[in-house]
Amino acid sequence: MTALTPAVRDRILSLPSTELPSYIYDLTALGEHAASVRAALPERVELYYAAKANPEPAILAALGSYVDGYEVSSGGELTHVAKAMPGHPLAFGGPGKTSAEITAALKQGVERFHVESVHELHMLGDLAGRITPDTPVAVLPRFNLAVPDGSLAGSSLTMGGRPTPFGLDPCQADTVIRLLTDDTYPQLEPRGIHAHLASGLEAPEQLAVAASVVTWAEELAGRHGIRLAEVNIGGGMNVDYTRPTRRFDWVAYGAGLARLADRHPGLTLRIEPGRALTAYCGWYTTEVLDIKHSHGEEFAVVHGGTHHLRTPATKGHDQPCSVLPVQHWPHPWPRPRARHDRITLTGQLCTPKDVLARDIPAAGLRAGDRVAFSLAGAYAWNISHHDFLMHPQPGFHFMNTGPAPEAERNVS
């Protein structure tokens, strides 16, 4: 169970039943969180937001004064973020970029290309020569590096350090740097190295990975006698769904990055978190439709389900939640009610996979009570299969509960 803020709790209880299920986002809390992340990072570390975690325009805007730019991973995100946040720098990543997407990105003037393969590098160089021949294009090849033993062990989603379709194999590094430095594609400028290897790492593991990526990048640059100005060490800061009030240790992480930056003067470090920025600002809120007793267990069927909040199905976890009891029961017949201490919360879909939280303590839960699922601000609505069973879409409410905090940079 999670502590709801009074403002969010009031908002949930003020919604008429006809407006449930709904997503509620606290934009003020998001701004405060982003301000504290920015303040924990050294001045020299650039913070980009990985838009795929939650690309709602109001979310992108609430982050606007705390981030240096946005990482986009498709042509769709590129168009969407450029329209929502005009004038903000964009970095374009993601595997399998098409020539149409690269063309759009060149015309848009994205400030970094994270290149995922040798073929993609040729395509980018060729298109840049034809579309923007007078404009240098800053390239960061993304590498799937081997990292210190065990540093990815805690990860929930591993994109690197093992065979995956993400990034370039380290054995291609010399080929890639040669292509970027000989005169094949004069527009392409080798700006640095990109490595997003895993999601769900805590600060010490993130720092170990970052240090090894930087060391590898400097060795590569040294071998080719070039200077790499930048290393992008990706996102993947952990969000702990089992302990929803806990936060990634941004202060320890920022201090570690400051030490790393001090060992490499002149190198710009960039990070691009998604989940750990926006997960906490969103709630999926709904009401219990029915309570069922089945072969000795109990199920609460809530309005909506994993077609709106797919996160627990994809991550195989229980989405943390709070129950908001509602006294009113409008019907003359008995109110369905839980008799056991533990109950499984399911949605309205005709599949046993539609489980939001399994066997959670919710003694006395009744039809008509409200439930707020927290940590639903990232990889939630936008990764869900909305059209399955053709239920209506939820409502969306963006709350502003106070003034936005000043962006503060930790000058160290």
Catalytic residues, which ones? 350
Q: What Rg value do the Cα atoms of the chain yield, rounded? A: 23
Phi, psi angles (nearest 5°) of residue 105 = -65, -40
Instruction: Rule CB under 6 A: say whether 196 interacts with ligand PLP.
Output: yes
Q: How far apart are CA 74 and CA 364, in angstroms?
A: 46
Q: Closest by alpha carbon to 193, among 162, 172, 165?
A: 172
Instruction: Rule CB under 6 A: say whether 288 interacts with ligand PLP.
Output: no
Residue number with CB closer to ligand PLP (77 or 354): 77
Residue number with CB closer to ligand PLP (64 or 95): 95
Instruction: Rule CB under 6 A: say whether 69 interacts with ligand PLP.
Output: no
**32: helix, coil or strand?**
helix
Interface with ligand PLP (CB under 6 A), residue from 42, 161, 256, 273: 273
3-state helix, strand, coil in the chain (%, to 5): 35, 25, 45
For residues 151 to 190, the per-residue mask of contacts with ligand PLP, x marking binding by CB under 6 A and - elsewhere, is: ----------------------------------------
Interface with ligand PLP (CB under 6 A), residue from 34, 45, 51, 53: 53
Strands 395-399 and 342-346, sheet pairing: unpaired
Interface with ligand PLP (CB under 6 A), residue from 11, 52, 191, 310: 52
Instruction: Rule CB under 6 A: say whether 205 interacts with ligand PLP.
Output: no
Residue number with CB closer to ligand PLP (91 or 323): 91
Instruction: Rule CB under 6 A: say whether 275 interacts with ligand PLP.
Output: yes
Q: Where are the beta strands (DSSP E) in 135-294?
A: 137-141, 157-158, 188-190, 192-194, 198-199, 230-232, 268-271, 282-294
CB of 194 to ligand PLP, least distance (A): 7
For residue 16, give Cα distances in angstroms to 11, 13, 189, 332, 381. 10, 8, 56, 21, 21
Instruction: Rule CB under 6 A: say whether 270 interacts with ligand PLP.
Output: no
CB of 223 to ligand PLP, least distance (A): 25
Distant-in-sequence, close-in-space partners of 366: CB < 8 Å, separation ≥ 6: 288, 291, 325, 329, 335, 336, 337, 338
Instruction: Rule CB under 6 A: say whether 234 interacts with ligand PLP.
Output: yes
Site residues for ligand PLP per CB under 6 A: 50, 52-53, 71, 73, 93, 196, 199, 234-237, 272-276
